[in-house]
Amino acid sequence: MARKPGGAVRFTRPKTGLGVALLTASATFSLFLIGALIWGWSVFYAPGPSARVGDSTVVTLPSGAGVSAIAANLKAAGVIRSTDMFKAAASLTGADRRLRAGEYEVPDKASLRSVLSLLVEGRVVRHFVTLPEGWSSVQAVDILMRQPVLTGTVEVPAEGSLWPDTYEITRGESREAVVARMQRAASENMLRLWPGRGPNSVVRTPQEALILASIVEKETGQAAERPRVAAVFSNRLRQGMRLESDPTIVYGITQGRPLGRGLRRSEIDRATAWNTYQIDGLPPTPIANPGRDAIEAVLNPPISGDIFFVADGTGGHAFAATYDQHLANVARWRAIERQRAGLPAEAPTPAAAAPDAGPLSGPTAVVPPGARVITVPQTAPVDGGLRR
């Protein structure tokens, strides 16, 4: 207590260390918080761990995994340094509620911010496998077995039961599951296509459509030619002629694998269930997995009198309705072959002495003793495609 001048009394509070301590603590905490924020900010944007192999790290996050499980997977893969920092950053940024499962390819030294952004945006690694039109089922299995992201083995499915297309696959998916998807797609597409079968089609069942379409698919690589090829084979079946398709001979020999060379005379003469030089009508199964265009071609072949075709030297074929026309087309093709081989041109062969020829460019046919010979009329009748 102190007395002011004039007799007034003034009370004073004794100074203590409590206020100073509080101020000091507050300042210290503020500095600590600022430091922590700066450190956290630097960690959030700082480069992450180096990839253990190559320029990136592939990590798979399972569906339904929580933030802790995701953080553990990332730490185990060497993508992040601290699970606690990942969970804290995910919580503070709100990313913990938006992380997506899937397979991710994390770049080398990706920052924590980059990793979170990758997972929130769902930029997953996408894998695709393509089954080309006209490839066999054994070739389809070969394609799947070469995919390292798939698991397990699978038996060769029925020929013609797979739908040629590009399919997205995921790491860890079984090859059997992919085949099941291909078969399901084939069934669904045939259900949609079959009702569109026209009156000029010779196929009576979806299976017959697959068989004939597979032959059409293997005969030409040009989509625009498939309807004309389908018309030729439809006309041959309608007239009781043999299809005489080289790819059916190959299938009987290799069961779906490429032959890798030209056919031999002995192979053309060899009887197999698929050799349409030796059997009547359609073979027992498809010889490949046909695509939509080939199936639509046999379901709605154009009205045509063509019953022959041969390569024309441009990658396509020359079609003919009569045997004489076909012989002329064959002669032109033989001349092209000799020219390409650097051989002199052959003297023209009289039409009367020319050997019988099927729809394709193959070795000259030699009729074995006792073999059935089909007589081809000089002019093929055109009946609008309605005669069965």
CB 319 within 8 A of CB 306: yes
pLDDT, position 337: 82
215 & 281 share domain = yes
- Is residue 29 predicted with pLDDT exceeding 90? no
Same domain, 262 and 279: yes
Work out the end-to-end distance of the chain between its first and last CA atoms, rounded to an integer number of angstroms: 129
Give the pLDDT confidence score for residue 13 in this predicted structure. Answer: 56
User: Does residue 49 fall inside a structural domain?
Assistant: no
- CATH code at 76? 3.30.1490.480
Strand partners, 151: 174
Contact 357, 225 (CB under 8 A): no
- State whether 235 and 346 are in the same domain: yes
| Residue where a domain terminates, one of 69, 102, 121 | 121
Dump the DSSP string for 229-282. HHHHHHHHHHTT-----HHHHHHHHHTTS---SPPPHHHHHS--TT-TTTSSS-
Question: Does 155 share its domain with 216?
Answer: no
Higher-confidence position of 289 and 312: 289
pLDDT band with cut points at 50, 70 and 90 for residue 122: confident
- Residue 66 covered by a domain: yes
295/37 Cα distance (integer angstroms)? 66
Mean pLDDT calculated for residue range 88-116: 88
Measure the CA–CA gap between 85 and 46, rounded to whole angstroms: 12
- The answer to whether residue 2 scores a pLDDT higher than 70 is no
Is 292 contained in some domain?
A: yes
Average model confidence (pLDDT) for the chain? 82
- Does pTM surpass 0.75? no
Give me the percent of the chain exceeding a pLDDT of 90.
46
Burial of 41 (0-12, 13-18, 19+ CB in 10 A): exposed
Whether residue 224 sits in one domain with residue 172? no
Please report whether residue 13 resides in a domain. Answer: no
Closest to 161 in 3D by CA, of 183, 179, 131, 132: 183
Domain range for 156 is: 127-191
Contact 210, 290 (CB under 8 A): yes
Rounded distance, CA 243 to CA 214, Å?
13
- pLDDT at 153 (0 to 100): 95
- pLDDT tens profile 239-267: 999 999 999 999 999 999 999 999 999 99
Instruction: Tell whether 26 is covered by a domain.
Output: no
Assess if residue 28 is contained within a domain. no
Residues 232 and 348 in one domain: yes
- 388 domain residue, yes or no: no
Q: Give the tokens for residue 61.
A: 């996050």
> Which of helix, strand or coil describes residue 155?
coil
Summarised one tens digit per residue, pLDDT across range 150-171 is 999 999 999 999 999 999 998 8
Residue 174: DSSP 8-state: B
Q: What is the pLDDT of residue 368?
A: 37
**Residue 41 clears pLDDT 80, i.e. is over it:** no
Answer yes or no: are the C-beta atoms of 336 and 313 closer than 8 Å: yes
The Cβ of residue 19 has, within 10 Å, a number of other Cβ atoms equal to 9
Do residues 363 and 307 lie in contact, with contact meaning Cβ atoms separated by under 8 Å?
no
When divided into structural domains, the chain yields a total of: 3
Token readout for 35 is 């430091």
Mean pLDDT of the region 181-201? 97
Does residue 327 have a pLDDT over 70?
yes
Q: What is the SS3 string spanning 80-114?
A: CCCHHHHHHHHHHHCHHHCCCCEEEEEECCCCHHH
Q: Do 180 and 105 lie in a common domain?
A: no
Identify whether the C-beta of residue 132 lies closer than 8 Å to the C-beta of residue 221: no
Shared domain for 185 and 255, answered yes or no, is no
Using CA atoms, how far apart are residues 71 and 73, in angstroms rounded to an integer?
5
Tell me, yes or no, whether 283 and 178 share the same domain. Answer: no
* Claim to verify: residue 283 and residue 337 sit in the same structural domain: yes
More confident call, 32 vs 384: 32
Domain identity same for 228 and 106 = no
What SS3 string covers 36-62? HHHHHHHHHHCCCCCCCCCCEEEEEEC
**What pLDDT is attached to residue 38?**
56
Q: Between β-strands 317-320 and 308-311, what pairing exists: parallel, antiparallel or unpaired? A: antiparallel
> Are 278 and 258 found together in one domain?
yes
**Does residue 379 form part of some domain?**
no
Strand pairing class (127-130; 102-107): unpaired
Question: How much of the chain is helix, strand and coil, in % rounded to 5?
Answer: 45, 10, 50
- Name the percent of the chain lying above pLDDT 70: 77
Separation of alpha carbons 184 and 182, rounded Å: 5
